[in-house]
Amino acid sequence: MMTNVLVNAKDVTKTYQTAKVEAKALRGLTLEINESDFMAIVGPSGSGKTTFLNLVGALDTATDGSLNVLGRDISAMSKRQRADLRLHKLGFVFQAYNLVPVLTAQENVEFVLELQGIGDNRFNRAREILDKLGLAEFANRRPNELSGGQQQRVAIARAVASNPKLVLAAEPTANLDGENAEVLLQMMRDLNENQNITFVFSTHDPRVVAHAKRVVTLVDGRISKDETKSQTKSSL
Amino acid sequence: MMLSVSNKYAMRSLVRHGRRTILSVVGIGVGCGLCLFMIAFVRGESKMMLRAAAESGAGHFRVVPAKWNETRENDLRLIDWHQARKLVASVDEVEVVTPHARKEVLLGFGTRVAGVEMVGVDPNTEQTCNRLARSVVEGHYLDGEKGTTVIGKTIATRLKVEVDDELMLTTAGADGEMAGAMLRIVGIIGTGSRDLDATICQVNLQDVEQITHLSGAGDLTALVKNPKKLELIVKSLSAKLGTGYSVVTWEQLMPELASGAKVDETWTRLTVGIIMIVVFLGIASAQLTAVLERRKEFAVLSAVGMKGSRLIQIMVYEGLVLGLVGAIVGLAVGVPSAYWIATKGIDFTKMYGTDDMSVSNILIDLVFLGDFGWWLVPLAFALALTATILSSLYPAWYAAKIDPAAALRVEH
Ligand SMILES: Nc1ncnc2c1ncn2[C@@H]1O[C@H](COP(=O)(O)OP(=O)(O)O)[C@@H](O)[C@H]1O
Ligand SMILES: [Mg+2]
- Rounded to the nearest angstrom, the minimum Cα separation between A123 and chain B is 10
| CB-CB neighbors (< 8 A) of B407 in chain A | 59, 92, 94, 97
Q: A148: Cβ below 6 Å to ligand 1? A: no
| B279 in Cβ contact with B29 (< 8 Å) | no
Q: Which tens digit of pLDDT belongs to each residue from B122-155?
A: 999 998 888 888 889 999 999 989 999 999 999 9
Q: How confident is the model at residue B195 (pLDDT cuts 50, 70, 90)?
A: confident
Rounded distance from Cα A45 to ligand 1 centre (Å): 9
Residue B404 CA to residue B393 CA, distance in Å, equals: 20
pLDDT at B405: 86
Ligand 1 atom nearest to A52, measured from its CA: 17
Helices B255-293, B18-53: axis angle to 10 degrees equals: 170
ipTM reported for the complex surpasses 0.85: yes
Average pLDDT across chain B, whole number: 89
Taking the CA atoms of B298, B299, B300 and B305 in sequence, report the sign of the dihedral they define: positive
Q: Quick one: angle between helices B308-343 and B295-303, nearest 10?
A: 130
- pLDDT, residue B412, reads 46
Q: Please give the distance, rounded to the nearest whole angstrom, from the Cα atom of residue A51 to the centre of ligand 1.
A: 6
| Cβ contacts from A onto B, under 8 A | 87
Percentage of chain B surpassing pLDDT 90? 63
Is A59 within 8 Å of chain B by CB? yes
Q: Please report which confidence band the pLDDT of residue B366 belongs to, taking 50, 70 and 90 as the band edges.
A: low
Indicate which of A90, A102, A114, A152 best probes the interface with B, i.e. most B CBs within 10 Å of its own CB: A102
Taking residues B241-258, what's their average pLDDT? 88
Indicate whether B8 pLDDT > 90: yes
Which candidate, B199, B184, B186, places its Cα nearest to that of B138? B186
* Dist. CA A23 → ligand 2 center (Å): 14
pLDDT one-digit tens code per residue, A131-164:
999 999 999 999 999 999 999 999 999 999 988 9
Angle between helices B376-400 and B18-53 (to 10 degrees): 140
A98–B300: do the CB atoms touch at under 8 Å?
yes
Distance CA B120, CA B133 (A): 12
Question: Order of strands, edge to edge, in the sheet holding A72-73?
Answer: A22-34, A5-17, A64-69, A72-73
Determine the Cα–Cα distance for residues A235 and A188; give it in Å rounded to an integer.
14
For A114, the closest of B5, B16, B404 (CB atoms) is B5
Q: Is there an atom of ligand 1 within 6 Å of A45 CB?
A: yes
A23 CB within 6 A, ligand 1:
yes
Average pLDDT of the segment spanning A44-59: 94
**What are the C-alpha distances in Å from B216 to residues A123, B59, B174, B186?**
85, 19, 13, 24
B8–chain A Cβ distance below 8 A for any pair? yes
Nearest to B297 among A57, A95, A97 (CB): A97
| H or E element, residue A167 | strand A166-170
- Paired sense of beta strands A198-202 and A38-42, if any: parallel
- Which residues on chain A are in Cβ contact (under 8 Å) with B297? 97, 100-101
Residue B401 at interface with chain A, using a CB cutoff of 8 Å: no
Protein residue whose Cα sits closest to atom 4 of ligand 1: A16
Q: Is A50 in the pocket of ligand 1 (CB under 6 A)?
A: yes
Q: What does DSSP assign to residue A234?
A: G
Q: Is the pLDDT of residue A235 over 50?
A: no
Answering whether pTM is above 0.90, one says no
Q: How far apart are CA B306 and CA B300, in angstroms?
A: 9
For residue B355, pLDDT beyond 80: no
Residues of B in contact with A90 (CB under 8 A): 305
* pLDDT at residue A79 greater than cutoff 50: yes
Question: B223: closest CA among B29, B15, B93, B59?
Answer: B59
- Looking at ligand 1, which residue's alpha carbon is closest to its atom 24? A46
Q: Are strands B166-172 and B94-109 parallel, antiparallel or unpaired?
A: antiparallel
